[in-house]
Amino acid sequence: MCADTAVKPTTAAQGEILLEAHDLARYFDVSKPWLNRVIERSERLTLKAVDGVGFSIRRGETLSLVGESGCGKSTVARLVVGLYGLTRGKLVFDGEDISDLASRTGRQAASVRKRFQMIFQDPYASLNPLWRVGTIIGEPLRFFRPEMSSTDRRRRVGELLEQVGMSAMDANRYPHEFSGGQRQRISIARALANEPEFMICDEPTSALDVSVQAQILNLMRDLQDEYGLTYLFISHDMAVVKHMSDRIAVMYLGRIAEIAPADQLFESPHHPYSKMLLEAVPSLEGAGKERSVIQGEVPNPVHPPSGCAFHPRCPHANARCKAEAPRLIARSDGSEVACHGVEEGRLP
């Protein structure tokens, strides 16, 4: 049950680029209704959930997005799969511009959509309770491969269930008969049905207990090794992210603060927010240790601070940080950091 051969290919970094995101932005209108605005003379309010996020993912690689709630990590995932339309920016998947994916319909959308799949956080909400597991897993097959006979489909569903560590007999049961971990396995089997190349996993284990989480994370790594899957992995749990990722993007209020190879981010984070986040993670190794607690909370994204969004909480902020938003700047060690202090050499 344990394979110490499962060493991840570090060559992933040299692979071709599968997904490129340029300057992604998604704004939401959170204004009050028209009548209230007129009577109360309030202005239109825009929530900039994602504002200028760019990254690329190579084939076979795992890129993780981490950040606290409201930082826009899930919105990025939804933009990538086309559940939300882009306000601004460009998405290129395997050489094809898919920026308009959200507005595509029918076959036009299907040609791209079947190449990537999403796994959601809540395995209770993401499976139709009225359908048998076999129907749930078979649905992508029915949609994308209508020519497949029902016998073939049933056989394929059985294979998929066995691949994720369940029994082919489970196809006849309903989702409520399974535990959280088993449901997440069913979600994964459904996502695998069409042999996708790219999986977007939005907090796949945060609803699960640690021992079950370990099973699901191991399964995801095995599947990656077996099928060369590419993951965009989203989580708020730094330890899980470290375990899963090749590279990590730390997000704060709709922007990327730092992107770096996983090991490097944990060894020598550059951005003050990355440092703070790592510092705040309660760890087993730190039993009984006193830590410096960072003050403040994530500001309301409807009224983000001027300049660098992190400056009110940053111990190194100066006048420039308050006035000017930093851009991501590549460093010689392979990381990209959006911080004036790091750029100017004030911070290591």
Positions 145 through 204 that interact with another protein (CB under 8 A): 179-181
| CB-CB contact of 207 with 250 (8 Å) | no
Listed residue (179, 181, 183, 81) closest to 131, CA to CA: 183
CA distance 13 to 316: 33
x/- mask, another protein, residues 61-100, rule CB under 8 A, reads -------xx-------------------------------
Rounded Cα gap, residues 259 and 224, in angstroms? 22
Nearer to another protein, 121 or 215 (CB): 215
CB of 338 to another protein, least distance (A): 18
| Residue linked to tokens 């992995």 | 233
Task: Pick the closer one to another protein by CB: 95 or 288.
Answer: 288
User: Any contact of residue 30 with another protein (CB under 8 A)?
Assistant: no
Q: How many residues in the shown chain lie near another protein by CB under 8 A?
A: 51
- Binding status of residue 122 toward another protein by CB under 8 A: no
By CB under 8 A, is residue 10 in contact with another protein? no
- The residue within the footprint of another protein, chosen from 146, 282, 345, 348 (CB under 8 A), is 282
- Is residue 59 a contact point for another protein (CB under 8 A)? no
What is the pattern of x (binds another protein, CB under 8 A) and - over residues 242-261? xx------------------
**What is the smallest separation between the CB atom of 345 and another protein, expressed in angstroms?**
26
Q: Does 283 bind another protein (CB under 8 A)?
A: yes
The one among 45, 125, 280, 319 contacting another protein by CB under 8 A: 280
Alpha helices in 82-179 (DSSP H): 106-113, 133-144, 150-163
Cβ atoms of 53 and 254 closer than 8 Å: yes
**Does 7 contact another protein by CB under 8 A?**
yes
Quote the distance between the C-alpha of residue 196 and its chain's center.
16
Q: How far is CA 146 from CA 134, 152, 160, in A?
A: 16, 11, 18
DSSP β-bridge partners for residue 57 = 19
DSSP state of 87: S
Write down the least CB distance from residue 201 to another protein, Å.
15
CB of 105 to another protein, least distance (A): 38
Q: Residue 221, interface with another protein (CB under 8 A)?
A: yes
Question: What is 36-66 written as a DSSP string?
Answer: HHHHHTPPP-EEEEEEEEEEEEETT-EEEEE
Rounded to whole angstroms, the Cα distance separating 164 from 222 reads 10
Whole-angstrom Cα distance, residue 110 to residue 335? 35
Q: Which of 215, 224, 230, 335 binds another protein (CB under 8 A)?
A: 215
User: Which stretch of DSSP H or E encloses residue 119?
Assistant: strand 116-119
Pick the closer one to another protein by CB: 100 or 297.
297
Least separation in angstroms between CB 236 and another protein: 7
Q: Residue 25 and residue 90: Cα distance in Å, rounded?
A: 9
Nearer CB in complex with another protein: 99/245:
245
Q: How many CB atoms lie within 10 A of CB 300?
A: 11
Q: Does 316 bind another protein (CB under 8 A)?
A: no
Residues that bind another protein (CB under 8 A): 1-4, 6-8, 68-69, 179-181, 209-215, 217-218, 221, 236, 238-240, 242-243, 263, 266, 276-289, 291, 293-298
